[in-house]
Amino acid sequence: MMIRATRRNVLLVLIFLSLALLLVGLGALTMGSVRLPLAEVWAGLCGARSEAQAVVIIREIRLPRILLAMLVGAALAVSGTGLQALLRNPLADPYVLGISSGAALGAIVAFWAGGRVAAASPLVAFLGAVLTMLWVYLLGRRAGRLASYTLLLAGVVTASFLSAVILFVLTLLSSRDVRGTAFWLMGDLSVVTDAQLRLLVPAVILAIAGLYWFAKDLNVLLLGEEEAAHLGVNVARVETAVYLLASLLTALAVSVSGAIGYLGLLVPHLGRMLVGNDHRMLLPTAALGGAIVLVLSDTLARTVVAPGELPVGAVTAVAGAPVFIYLLRRTTG
Amino acid sequence: MVGGLAFLTGQACWKKKLAVLSLLAALLAIVAVKASARQIIDQTGRRVNVPDRPQRLISLAPSITEVVYALGLGDRLVGDTDYCDFPPEARNKPHVGAMLNPSLERIVALKPDLVLGTADANRRQTADQLERLGVPLYGLRAHTVDETLHSIEDLGRILGREREAEGLVEQLRARIESVERRVAGQPRPKVLFVVWYRPLITAGPHTFIADVVAHAGGLSISNDLRGEWPRLSLEEVLRRAPDVILFPKTESFSPGLEEFARLPGWKELRAVQSHRMYFLSETIMRPSPRLVDALEELAGILHPAGGLGRRPTQ
What is the pairing mode between strands B190-197 and B57-59? unpaired
Average pLDDT over residues A214-224: 89
**pLDDT tops 90 at residue A66:** yes
Q: What is the largest CA-CA distance in chain B?
A: 97
Number of domains comprising chain A: 1
| Chain B residues near residue A175 by CB distance under 8 angstroms | 99-100
Minimal Cα distance from B121: which residue of A? A175
Percent residues over pLDDT 90 in chain A: 38
The domains of chain B, with CATH numbers, are 39-171 (3.40.50.1980), 186-306 (3.40.50.1980)
pLDDT of the residue at B100: 81
How high is the pLDDT of residue B314?
Answer: 30
A34, A112, A184 member nearest B235 (Cβ): A34
Asked, for residue A132, whether it belongs to a domain, the answer is yes
* Lowest mean pLDDT across A185-189, A315-319, B249-253, B262-266: B249-253
Reply yes or no on whether the pLDDT at A36 is more than 90.
Answer: no
pLDDT at B267: 82
Mean pLDDT of A303-328: 86
Residue A208, pLDDT > 60, answer: yes
The pLDDT of residue B6 is 42
Three-state helix/strand/coil letters over chain A: CCCCCCHHHHHHHHHHHHHHHHHHHHHHHHCCCCCCCHHHHHHHHHCCCCCCHHHHHHHHHHHHHHHHHHHHHHHHHHHHHHHHHHHCCCCCCCCCCCHHHHHHHHHHHHHHHCHHHHHCHHHHHHHHHHHHHHHHHHHHEECCEECHHHHHHHHHHHHHHHHHHHHHHHHHCCHHHHHHHHHHHCCCCCCCCHHHHHHHHHHHHHHHHHHHHCHHHHHHHCCCHHHHHHCCCCHHHHHHHHHHHHHHHHHHHHHHHCCCCCHHHHHHHHHHHHHCCCHHHHHHHHHHHHHHHHHHHHHHHHHCCCCCCCCHHHHHHHHHHHHHHHHHHHHHC
Chain A stretch 297-316, residues whose beta carbon is closer than 8 A to a beta carbon of chain B: 302, 306-311
pLDDT score for B138: 94
Cβ–Cβ gap B265/A53 under 8 Å: no
The segments of chain B whose pLDDT lies below 50 read 1-10, 35, 253, 306-314
- Residue A2 domain flag: no
Name the residue with higher pLDDT: A327 or B297.
B297
Chain B environment of A173 (Cβ under 8 Å)? 252
Tell me the shortest Cα–Cα distance from A39 to chain B, in angstroms: 18
The answer as to whether A219 is a domain residue is: yes
- Judge whether A35 is closer than 8 Å to chain B, CB to CB: no
**For residue A179, is pLDDT > 60?**
yes
pTM above 0.90, yes or no: no
Mean pLDDT of A292-301: 95
Residue A274 domain-assigned?
yes
Percent of chain A with pLDDT strictly greater than 70: 94
Its domain, for residue A28, covers: 7-332
Out of B195, B232, B265, the one facing A176 most closely (by C-beta) is: B195
Q: State the pLDDT at residue A43.
A: 78
pLDDT at position A324 is 82
Average pLDDT, chain A: 86
Give how far A194 is from chain B: nearest CA, Å.
7
Summarize pLDDT for B28-49 with one digit per residue, the tens: 555 555 546 788 888 888 888 8
The per-residue pLDDT for A120 is 79
CB of B57 within 8 A of CB of B78? yes
Q: ipTM for the complex? A: 0.70
| A1: in domain | no
The answer to the question of residue A217 being in a domain is yes
Distance CA B191, CA B241 (A): 9
Query: What pLDDT, on a 0 to 100 scale, did the predictor assign at position A5?
Result: 54
CATH code of the domain covering residue A47: 1.10.3470.10
